[in-house]
Amino acid sequence: MDCIFCKIAAGEIPSTKIFEDDQVLAFYDAAPQAPVHFLVIPKKHIGSALEIDANNSNQVAHIFEVIASIARQLDLDNGYRVVTNVGDDGGQTVGHLHFHVLAKRKLAWPPG
């Protein structure tokens, strides 16, 4: 499958890793939208949040544990935002489930 995030998870494309275990990888976004902007992905391919179901939701739960752990490690105690874009209207550009974590600036709400 020609998926850039599968290739990053497999180490075939380099990334600036923050955390990795057998299930997930966290790495810095190549086009940061905040002073801290990283992505957390399941290593196993899931197309988007629309494909989350009872068979893979344990990976999503684990991703949120990893995000909280990294947030403590990076001192994001002033807050952060977790975003997953889904499909065209959601602004998804990479078809592999990923959670953006943005921090260290005041983020607008609602998003544009």
Residues marked as catalytic: 98
**Min separation Cβ 72 and ligand AMP, Å:** 23
Tokens for 53, please give them. Answer: 């179901």
- By CB under 6 A, the count of residues binding ligand AMP is 11
Nearer to ligand AMP by C-beta: 54 or 109? 109
Separation between Cα atoms, residue 54 and residue 70, nearest integer Å: 26
Answer whether 39's CB lies under 8 Å from 101's CB.
yes
**Min separation Cβ 89 and ligand AMP, Å:** 12
Footprint of ligand AMP on 40-99 (CB under 6 A): 85, 91-94
**Min separation Cβ 48 and ligand AMP, Å:** 9
| Beta carbons within 8 Å of 2's beta carbon, 6+ residues apart | none
Footprint of ligand AMP on 14-33 (CB under 6 A): 15, 29-31
Strands ordered across the beta sheet of 24-28: 17-20, 24-28, 36-42, 99-103, 80-83
List interacting residues with ligand AMP (CB under 6 A).
4, 13, 15, 29-31, 85, 91-94
